[in-house]
Structure 1
Amino acid sequence: ERERLERAAGLRTHALVAVSSSLLMIVSAYGFADVMGVSQVSFDPSRVAAQVVSGIGFIGGGLIFVRRDAVRGLTTAAIVWVTAAIGMACGAGLAEVALVVTAGHMVIVFIYPKLAARLPASRYLSFAIRVVYEDGRGILRRVLAESTALGFSILTVDTHQLDQPVSGAAAVAVTLEVQGRPSAEELTIGLEKLDGVIEISALDLGRNSD
């Protein structure tokens, strides 16, 4: 499923995680039987298995990428985590538990997305809006305040100084990515009323959000 969707971790990665986790669990459970009970030896063999959790944390961290406001790799990291847990259960001799968790994992990965696709779409829309305004008049603060007052959440703010004056004045362009129930037209109308705003254009990102 991960390879089909061209994600970071595929069949070999998951197989290696499961096998290595199972082996470490076996070593933790049975690898120190010959020294258990020796009076001069004091140790906790379960610490070997505990290191699997730490190791999978490093692998999961390497699978998660953040680009602007988009986070990728969370599902893959979670699946690798589950794979390690299943491998540890197998190594501990808990085959029934491993089978049940594997079945639950398959349901979540393959069936749940199809069920989620049938749910009604959220009424929260995300879109980007570009506002050109006169520089040096505190317009950006008013733009952000007006957007919030109209019921929008501001996701990203990207500003840059324009090389050429607009309407004879130095100007700045800001691109806002916002999310909310009102339409882009309502936000545009609200921002057009602000003194110092020169130009507004909206772009629908074409996605809904929960």
Structure 2
Amino acid sequence: MADLASVMEPAGESWLQVVEFLEALLLSGVIGIERQLRHKAAGLRTYTTVGSAAAVFMLVSKYGFTDVLHLGTVVLDPSRVAAQIVSGLGFIGAGVIFVHRGSVQGLTTAATIWLTAAVGAAAAAGLPLLAALAVVAYLAVSYVLRPVLARLPSPGGVTAGYRIAYLQGRGLLRELLDRCTQAGFAVHEVRTLSGPVGRDSEQVVEISLVVQGRGDAGPLTARLAAVPGVLVCRRTEPDGE
């Protein structure tokens, strides 16, 4: 009985743990790259850190206590560490959620961090297919369902997103916001993406602008692009989270 138990118990360090950790790092990195490309507050470094940290916790839980196991007295329970990962991620998630102008921002970021930790834990638990499926499902929701939902009628009107690059120091931001209001849209979010960059008098700022209203978003694009000093104005998927 003791020999059978020793064979079934998890082994110590081996290349298996290295592979499981690298799987978690890779899959977490995929989510991080997607969020980085969307210019979110948490990007590649945050998500790879969360996913790989969750994997380390799970690996320690599975393999780190084999030297103290004794048949009938000390029993290994990896699920206890997995449960603590879930509750511990609440602190990070709470740090990225905030209320701006009456709307809650950061819920998607917090949920994605939580998902990334689950992906890392699943990869380290020896469930690479489940971890990969979770990443594929997340990407499908982000790139397939999001555009479909954006085209559905909204009770609050149309929500439109823009990326605008303009010359700083000319009061253009106020002009852009005024034109949104005149077109029947309320400004939902304004976020600086980059800048100011360039030479002294020709510094360029790039912003993300999300508006909501019952107007026509098509003509609004042309009105924003026509503001003198605006260099680039293009529609984006409205995502203020």
**Which bin holds the TM-score, normalised by the shorter protein?**
0.5 to 0.7
Q: Which residue identity does 1:122 align to in structure 2?
A: S
Determine the C-alpha separation between the residues in 1 that align with 2:76 and 2:63. Answer: 14
Partner of 2:90: 57
CA contact (8 A) 1:25 1:88 kept: yes
8 A Cα contact 2:156 2:213, kept in partner: yes
Contact 1:22–1:87 (CA<8 Å) still a contact in 2?
Answer: yes
Pair 1:70–1:89, CA change in 2 (3 A): same
Over the residues paired in the alignment, what is the CA RMSD in angstroms?
2.5
| Structure with greater Cα Rg | 1
Equivalent-residue separation in structure 2 for 1:48 and 1:3 (angstroms)? 29
Runs of at least 5 residues in structure 2 that lack an aligned partner in the other structure: 1-33, 159-183, 187-210, 215-241
Q: Which residue of 2 aligns with 1:145?
A: none
Distance 2:74 2:130 in 1: 33
| Inter-partner Cα distance in structure 2 for 1:93 and 1:79 | 21
The correspondence of residues 1-210 of structure 1 with structure 2, limited to 5 A, is 1-37=34-70, 41=74, 44-119=77-152, 121-124=153-156, 205=186, 207-208=212-213
After TM superposition, the score normalised by the length of structure 1 is: 0.56
Q: Once superposed, which parts of structure 1, at least 4 consecutive aligned residues long, lie more than 6 Å away?
A: none
Residue identity over aligned pairs, in percent, reads 45
Q: Larger helix proportion, structure 1 or 2?
A: 2
Total equivalences in the alignment: 132
Contact 1:122 1:208 in 2 (8 A): no
Partners of 2:36 and 2:135 lie apart in 1 by 18
Q: Which has the higher strand share?
A: 1
Q: 1:123 to 1:66 in 2, by over 3 A?
A: closer
Q: What is aligned with 1:188?
A: none
Aligned partner letter, 2:149: A
